[in-house]
Structure 1
Amino acid sequence: MIAVEDPRLTFARQALGPISSVPMPGLPSHLLALVDARDVLHVVKRHTDAGRFRQEAHAYITVVPHLGDRAPKMVAADPVTRSLLLTLLSGQSAVDLPPCSQAERDAYHSAGTTLRALHQVVPAESGDAIPAYLAGRTRWWTGRAHTAGLISVGERRTLLAHADALAIAVMDGAICHLDYQPRNWLVGSDGVVRVLDFEHARLDARVRDFARLEHRHWRLNPHLRETFFDGYGRPPDETERDLLIRFGVIEALTALVRGHESGDPQLAVHGRTLLDQLI
Structure 2
Amino acid sequence: MRGRGVDLIAKLHRSPSLHEREVHAYRAWTPHLGSAAPELIAVAPELHGIVITALPGTPLDTQSLGPDDERDAHRDAGRILARLHSLPAQAAASDMTDYLADRGEHWLARLGHHITQHDAHLVREHLRLLRSTTHARVAPCHLDFQPRNLLWHTDRRTRVIDFENSREDLAARDLARLATRIWPQRPDLREAFLDAYGPLDTNDTAVLHHVTALEAVTSMAHGLQHGDDYLVDLGRRLLANLGH
**Could you tell me whether the CA contact under 8 Å between 1:185 and 1:196 is conserved in 2?**
yes
Unaligned runs of 5+ in 2: none
Query: C-alpha distance in 2, partners of 1:39/1:243?
Result: 44
**Could you tell me whether the CA contact under 8 Å between 1:255 and 1:270 is conserved in 2?**
yes
Q: Tell me how far 1:240 sits from its aligned partner.
A: 2.4
Query: C-alpha distance in 2, partners of 1:239/1:122?
Result: 18
Q: Secondary structure at the match of 1:271?
A: helix
Q: CA RMSD in A?
A: 1.5
Q: Which structure is higher in RCO with an 8 Å CA cutoff and minimum separation 6? A: 2
Letter in 2 for 1:60: Y
Within-5 A mapping of 1:10-159: 34-36=1-3, 38-145=4-111, 147=112, 149-159=113-123
Tell me the alpha carbon deviations over residues 247-275 of structure 1, each in whole angstroms, 9 at most, x when there is no partner: 11111111101101111112111111111
Number of residues of Structure 1 aligned to a counterpart in Structure 2: 242
Residue 191 of structure 2 corresponds to 226
Query: C-alpha distance in 2, partners of 1:155/1:245?
Result: 15
Residue 176 of structure 2 corresponds to 211
Q: Secondary structure at the match of 1:85?
A: strand
The 1:123/1:238 distance shift into structure 2, 3 A limit, reads closer
Q: Secondary structure at the match of 2:114?
A: coil
* Deviation larger for 123-132 or 202-211: 123-132
Within-5 A mapping of 1:241-256: 241-256=205-220
Length-normalised TM-score, structure 1: 0.82
Structure 1 segments (4+ residues) deviating >6 Å: none
**Could you tell me whether the CA contact under 8 Å between 1:97 and 1:103 is conserved in 2?**
no
Length-normalised TM-score, structure 2: 0.94
State the identity as a percent: 35
Residue 156 of structure 2 corresponds to 191
Structure in which a larger fraction of residues adopt helix:
2
Residue 240 of structure 1 corresponds to 204
Tell me the alpha carbon deviations over residues 60-81 of structure 1, each in whole angstroms, 9 at most, x when there is no partner: 1111111111100101111121
Unaligned runs of 5+ in 1: 1-33
Is structure 2 residue 165 aligned with structure 1 residue 200?
yes
**Could you tell me whether the CA contact under 8 Å between 2:119 and 2:239 is conserved in 1?**
no
Instruction: Select 1:181's aligned residue among 135, 138, 146.
Output: 146
